[in-house]
């Protein structure tokens, strides 16, 4: 099992844990708005690190954003496999075609 799949499984397990013992459970106890807020914050922090952070800082922010994205997907009951399937669907199609399809 790969790293993201293992993390996805851990996050699903920790969802119902004691919030005093689990960061994932703490996020769930605070609700979907907090889960969405953390994902947004991590996105901004990753963007800032892209512009002005060290390689280590951007690597850390990238890990944070993947973690918080998996928490958000789990909270909405969307398997990560569905995201991968969507990427597979786009494979071989130019990003410009994809963009044009979305604006039609």
Ligand X SMILES: N=c1c2ncn([C@@H]3O[C@H](COP(=O)(O)OP(=O)(O)OP(=O)(O)O)[C@@H](O)[C@H]3O)c2ncn1[C@@H]1O[C@H](COP(=O)(O)O)[C@@H](O)[C@H]1O
List interacting residues with ligand X (CB under 6 A): 7, 10, 14, 22-25, 38, 64, 67
Task: Pick the closer one to ligand X by CB: 62 or 83.
Answer: 62
- Quote the least distance from Cβ 58 to ligand X, whole Å: 14
Task: Pick the closer one to ligand X by CB: 1 or 103.
Answer: 1
- Quote the least distance from Cβ 87 to ligand X, whole Å: 21
**From the CB of residue 10, how many other CB atoms can be counted at a distance below 10 Å?**
13
- Quote the least distance from Cβ 86 to ligand X, whole Å: 23
Query: Using CA atoms, how far apart are residues 16 and 11, in angstroms rounded to an integer?
Result: 9
**Cβ–Cβ < 8 Å for 82, 23:** no
Residue 82 tokens read as 């569905």
Task: Pick the closer one to ligand X by CB: 29 or 84.
Answer: 29
Query: Using CA atoms, how far apart are residues 11 and 17, in angstroms rounded to an integer?
Result: 10
């Amino acid at each position: 099992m790969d790293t993201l799949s293992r993390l996805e499984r851990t996050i699903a397990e920790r969802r119902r844990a004691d919030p005093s013992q689990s960061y994932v459970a703490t996020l769930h106890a605070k609700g979907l708005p907090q889960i969405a807020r953390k994902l947004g914050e991590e996105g901004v922090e990753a963007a800032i690190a892209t512009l002005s952070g060290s390689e280590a800082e951007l690597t850390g922010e990238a890990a944070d954003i993947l973690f918080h994205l998996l928490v958000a997907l789990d909270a909405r009951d969307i398997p990560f496999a569905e995201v991968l399937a969507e990427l597979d669907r786009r494979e071989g199609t130019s990003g410009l075609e994809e963009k044009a399809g979305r604006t039609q």
